[in-house]
Amino acid sequence: MLVDEIDVVLPCLDEAAALPGVLRAMPAGYRPLVVDNGSRDGSPDVARSLGAEVVHEPRPGYGAAVHTGIEHARSEVVCVLDADGSLDPGELPDLVALLARADLAVGRRVPDAGSWPWHARAGNAVLAAMLRRKGLPVRDIAPMRAFRRQDLLDLAVEDRAFGYPLELLLRAAAAGWRVVERDVRYGPRAAGTKSKVSGSVRGTVRAVRDMAAVLR
């Protein structure tokens, strides 16, 4: 596969303190596309000052940000990665290499001690087990992924909130996609930033609600 440049979609809500580390760790040939949803901490300016392209998405939600980022991307292969410093962009090329034999390459988070609350891990494990029963060989509902842009848009994932990653995997399974998973390191989010999902009761409740909606 011929890959020149690869767009990396970074959903971002108030990650100004994390963006410098994330953007500096971007491998050569990987072009960051930060999708902002009304951050109030100056994230878009930080992103631009470090050379990233910034896209604004007025509709709130993780899925809205990711979807808009993929629409804006121009490369044949696109990656998605959290912007909170918990995942290493340096591991993206290994995921992209897997696309030689897969339609979707996902990172299975291997957590550093304390970087993944037990309730989030437990919910994640239950959902991954359900996906395995559908024939998908995954152990995580991964926030780090690589795919061919047009194929992904053709899957037509509809959720625009926290159900997006699960719906994507369900649709990939239904479409007979070859999905491969690879271990990636999962560290604590960058100092000075706040979790929007699993780090709070409110975020967890929203994630469960959104994922349950996807399963109906």
CA distance 124 to 111: 13
> Is there binding between residue 37 and Mg ion (CB under 5 A)?
no
Yes or no: say if 187 and 86 are a contact pair by the CB < 8 Å rule. Answer: yes
Tell me the β-bridge partners of 109. 184
Among 43, 68, 86, 204, the residue binding Mg ion under the rule CB under 5 A is 86
Q: In this complex, which beta carbon is closest to Mg ion, that of residue 7 or of residue 82?
A: 82
Yes or no: say if 55 and 34 are a contact pair by the CB < 8 Å rule. Answer: yes
Yes or no: say if 40 and 16 are a contact pair by the CB < 8 Å rule. Answer: no
CB of 60 to ligand GDP, least distance (A): 5
Yes or no: say if 46 and 17 are a contact pair by the CB < 8 Å rule. Answer: no
Per CB under 6 A, contacts with ligand GDP among 115-144 are 143
> Is there binding between residue 84 and Mg ion (CB under 5 A)?
yes
CB of 50 to ligand GDP, least distance (A): 15
What are the structure tokens assigned to 194, written together?
A: 């706040």
What are the structure tokens assigned to 184, written together?
A: 């990636």
String of contacts with ligand GDP for each residue 44-73, x by CB under 6 A = ----------------xxx--x--------
> Is there binding between residue 159 and Mg ion (CB under 5 A)?
no
What are the structure tokens assigned to 30, written together?
A: 């990987």
CB of 2 to ligand GDP, least distance (A): 30
Sign of the alpha-carbon dihedral angle for 151, 153, 154, 156: positive
Chain residues in the site for ligand GDP (CB under 6 A) = 11-13, 15, 35-37, 60-62, 65, 82-84, 86, 143, 189, 195-199
Chain residues in the site for Mg ion (CB under 5 A) = 82, 84, 86, 189
